[in-house]
Amino acid sequence: MARVKGGVGSAKTRRNVLKRTKGYRFARSKKERAAYEAIVHAGKYAFAHRRDKKNDFRKLWNVRINAGLDGVNEKLSYSKFIGALKKKGIAVNRKMLSHLAENHPETFARIAKKIS
């Protein structure tokens, strides 16, 4: 069997690794070993933070809804508001409630009034 040297394949791998780290700082964009390590870490963070992003947005929506309730009804807290929504059978998700509280406070106030 003929001998195969790996120069072409290695060069292709190196080129692709360095292409993916374009814009990184210092050795991470210039040296193959540091670049490969940077790619591995970036992939781990991207995977984990795709999950975290969902939690972050839910927290943001909760804060916005609670802030919207402060202007409408001083006694009504976020948790009591969500519980009352479920009991009344009003099916509006937190994302939409947050949007209404921020951009359409009069509509949000009407929803809050139905609960009181």
Domain-located, residue 101: yes
Block residue for tokens 């991470």: 28
Q: What is the value of pTM for the model shown? A: 0.71
Q: What angle do CA 42, 45, 50 make, to 5 degrees?
A: 125
pLDDT in tens, the chain (116 residues): 888 888 999 999 999 999 999 999 999 999 999 999 999 999 999 999 999 999 999 999 999 999 999 988 778 899 999 999 999 999 999 999 999 999 999 999 999 998 87
Domain-located, residue 13: no
Domain-located, residue 2: no
Domain-located, residue 35: yes
Q: What is the dihedral of CA 68, 72, 76, 77, to 10 degrees?
A: 10
> Into how many domains does the chain fold?
1
Q: Which domain holds residue 35?
A: 26-115
Domain-located, residue 111: yes
Domain-located, residue 12: no
**Domain harbouring 96, CATH code:** 1.10.1900.20
